[in-house]
């Protein structure tokens, strides 16, 4: 795998073939977008306002979201090639880095977690109403029914960095009353630690294939922020194994703009990997 300077020139920022793809001049922006494309934009929104920090992403729509945010409304973000290199410009998913602006081997990721200039969007095999998450094991930890990855960096990420989640398949298997192993720390656990120990803890948002969620409630439990176009609130409730906070009428997640769609389709993910993660 090449490491420096050998990738294709990814072209000037935001350039797309004029007139190609993306709805021939329809009024409402991007209403022909697929669910995956809505998810990419919803993931991108997680990093809005973050400025000059590392957008650390896991999962296809999340990686695309970080790069899209950087190409559009959050140009200060730093993004990687999926490996140890900070790319000079966001590159297509899976493509070589091309020109680089920095080096971020695993050890430096781990130091950056401690340093704090990082907002991570992780996956979760289980998540509960307070945002505790599990990627370690299902069942009794001592002898699990299903051994998963291990806690990886989730404990440190959540206690040291703003954290969001991208969950491509929203279901009661994932959205559970209690997670079996707390890998990522939720609001109730953080509150128990007290204000000083948890002063860098912060769960920002959860994006799934059905909607967007946050924790903007008095006790830090999960709230439905928006449902994606074509999704009913009842559908989300039925796919969630705990009581969601739902305040009044739930708005729709915004459609991608035509410009965003062009960037996703023509620049960041021309091979359509997003559709293998969230089926059209």
Partner 1 sequence: MDKTMSIEEVVASLESGMTIGIGGWGARRKPMALVRAIYRSPLEDLTVVSYGGADVGLLCAAGKVRRVVAPFVTLDSIPLEPHFRAARQAGAVEFTEYDEGMFMFGLLAAAHRLPFLPTRAGLGSDVMRVNPELRTVRSPYGEAGQDGEELVAVPALALDAALVHMDRADIRGNGQYLGPDPYLDDLFVKAAARSYVSCERLVGPGGLDGPPQSLLVSRMHVTGVVETPGGGHFTESSRDGGPGGGPGGGPGGRPGGGRDEAFQRHYAAAAADPQAWAAFAGRFLSGDEAAYQEAVRRWHEEREEGTR
Q: Where along the sequence are the contacts to partner 1 (CB under 8 A)?
A: 1, 3, 83-85, 103, 105-107, 110, 113-114, 136-137, 141-156, 158-160, 181-185, 189-190, 192-193, 196-198, 200-201
Tokens representing 24 are 């021939």
CB of 107 to partner 1, least distance (A): 6
Q: Judged by CB, which is closer to partner 1: 103, or 252? A: 103
Q: Judged by CB, which is closer to partner 1: 35, or 201? A: 201
CB of 204 to partner 1, least distance (A): 17
CB of 256 to partner 1, least distance (A): 29
Q: Judged by CB, which is closer to partner 1: 16, or 156? A: 156
DSSP assignment of 147-195 equals E-S--TTHHHHHHHSEEEEEESS--TTTB-SS-SS--B--HHHHHHH-T
Q: Judged by CB, which is closer to partner 1: 85, or 224? A: 85
CB of 37 to partner 1, least distance (A): 25
Nearest to 3 by CA among 138, 99, 75, 125: 99
Q: Judged by CB, which is closer to partner 1: 13, or 149? A: 149
Tokens representing 138 are 């299902």
- d(C-alpha 104, C-alpha 81), whole Å: 10
Q: Judged by CB, which is closer to partner 1: 75, or 94? A: 94
Q: Judged by CB, which is closer to partner 1: 17, or 145? A: 145
**CA-angle at 83, arms to 146 and 99, nearest 5°:** 160
CB of 160 to partner 1, least distance (A): 6
- d(C-alpha 121, C-alpha 254), whole Å: 20
CB of 80 to partner 1, least distance (A): 11
- d(C-alpha 191, C-alpha 176), whole Å: 20
CB of 201 to partner 1, least distance (A): 8
Tokens representing 242 are 């705990």
Q: Is 45 exposed, middle or buried (0-12, 13-18, 19+ CB in 10 A)?
A: buried
Residue count of the chain: 280
Are 231 and 210 in contact by the 8 Å Cβ rule? The answer is yes
- d(C-alpha 174, C-alpha 166), whole Å: 12
- d(C-alpha 267, C-alpha 264), whole Å: 6
């Amino acid at each position: 795998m090449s490491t420096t300077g050998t990738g294709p020139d990814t072209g000037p920022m935001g350039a797309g073939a004029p007139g190609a793809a993306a709805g021939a001049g329809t009024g409402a922006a991007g209403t022909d977008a697929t669910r995956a494309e809505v998810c990419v934009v919803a993931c991108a929104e997680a990093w809005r306002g973050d400025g000059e920090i590392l957008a650390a992403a896991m999962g296809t729509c999340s990686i695309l979201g970080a790069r899209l945010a950087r190409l559009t409304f959050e140009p200060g973000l730093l993004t990687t090639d999926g490996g140890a290199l900070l790319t000079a410009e966001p590159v297509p998913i899976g493509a070589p880095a091309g020109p680089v602006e920095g080096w971020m081997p695993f050890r430096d990721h781990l130091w950056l977690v401690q340093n704090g200039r990082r907002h991570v969007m992780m996956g979760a095999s289980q998540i509960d109403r307070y945002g505790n998450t599990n990627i370690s094991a299902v069942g009794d930890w001592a002898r699990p029914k299903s051994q998963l990855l291990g806690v990886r960096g989730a404990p440190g990420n959540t206690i040291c960095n703003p954290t969001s989640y991208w969950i491509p398949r929203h279901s009661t298997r994932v959205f559970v009353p209690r997670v079996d192993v707390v890998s990522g720390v939720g609001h109730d656990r953080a509150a128990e630690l007290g204000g000083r120990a948890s002063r860098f803890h912060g769960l920002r948002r959860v994006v799934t294939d059905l909607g967007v969620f946050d924790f903007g409630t008095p006790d830090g439990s999960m709230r439905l922020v928006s449902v994606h176009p074509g999704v009913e609130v009842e559908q989300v409730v039925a796919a969630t194994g705990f009581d969601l906070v739902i305040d009044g009428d739930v708005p729709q997640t915004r459609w991608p703009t035509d410009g965003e769609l062009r960037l996703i389709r023509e620049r960041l993910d021309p091979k359509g990997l997003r559709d293998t993660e969230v089926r059209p």
